[in-house]
């Protein structure tokens, strides 16, 4: 394992600051989501983690793509990454030390796809059918990542959307505390 770089220490500090500020940010409630929003997302995309696990969902204007989500927590490395919905594994690819690193794309119904990047390892292969909550990989820090986290995208008809997790819109831009209910 490579020694922790100064850069990683700096990032850890940032993440701690972000986590500390999360408590001040009220998580959106289900009632805040209009029926129109739910209608757009007919496929219910779930938080891609174990039941009961708490993550910070970070969004920011300088993220690429801008509507992507970085899921963060102190002990992120090696945590299970679960498919947000049923579907077919479309991509399992390793870009090496750049961009997404090891990443997976799952194709769902109605033009939806989800993308999971910087993975440490893969648990599925291309063409495999998955259910909501199937473990598809493990959280890592591969590619252009400075510390373990999950880079996550909800894509519809090729366009990355603002993420809605289990019917709840997360905050753009900022931090939202999410407790996964996937598989509960
Ligand atoms: Zn990211």
DSSP letters for 87-118: EEEEEEEE-TTSTTSEEEEEE-STTEEEEEES
* Rounded distance from Cα 63 to ligand 1 centre (Å): 6
Show the DSSP H helices in the chain as ranges.
6-22, 35-40
* Rounded distance from Cα 68 to ligand 1 centre (Å): 6
Helix (H, G, I), strand (E, B) or coil at 5: coil
Which residues, by Cβ under 5 Å, contact ligand 1, an ion? 70, 151
Which strand (E) or helix (H) includes residue 152? strand 150-156
* Rounded distance from Cα 64 to ligand 1 centre (Å): 7
Pair 52, 184: CB distance under 8 Å? yes
* Rounded distance from Cα 166 to ligand 1 centre (Å): 20
Question: For the structural domain made of 6-179, what CATH number should be given?
Answer: 2.70.70.10
pLDDT digits (tens), the chain, 184 positions: 444 444 444 444 444 444 434 334 444 444 444 444 444 568 999 999 999 999 999 999 999 999 999 999 999 999 999 999 999 999 999 999 999 999 999 999 999 999 999 999 999 999 999 999 999 999 999 999 999 999 999 999 999 999 999 999 999 999 999 999 998 9
* Rounded distance from Cα 117 to ligand 1 centre (Å): 8
Q: What is the reported pLDDT for 20?
A: 39
């Amino acid at each position: 394992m490579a020694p922790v770089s100064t850069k990683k220490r700096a990032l850890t500090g940032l993440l701690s600051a972000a986590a500390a500020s999360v408590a001040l940010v009220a998580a959106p409630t289900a009632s805040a989501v209009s029926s129109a929003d739910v209608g757009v997302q007919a496929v219910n995309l779930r938080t891609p983690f174990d039941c009961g696990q708490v993550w910070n969902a970070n969004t920011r204007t300088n993220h690429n793509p801008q509507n992507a989500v970085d899921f963060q927590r102190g002990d992120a490395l090696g945590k299970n990454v679960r498919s947000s919905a049923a579907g077919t594994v479309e991509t399992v690819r390793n870009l090496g030390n750049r961009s997404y690193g090891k990443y997976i794309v799952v194709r769902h119904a109605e033009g939806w796809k989800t993308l999971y990047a910087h993975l440490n390892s893969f648990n599925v292969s291309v063409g495999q059918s998955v259910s909501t909550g199937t473990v598809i990989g493990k959280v890592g820090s591969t590619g252009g990542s400075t510390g373990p986290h999950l880079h996550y995208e909800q894509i519809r008809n090729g366009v990355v959307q603002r993420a809605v997790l289990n019917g709840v819109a997360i905050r753009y831009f900022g931090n939202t505390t999410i407790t996964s209910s996937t598989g509960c």
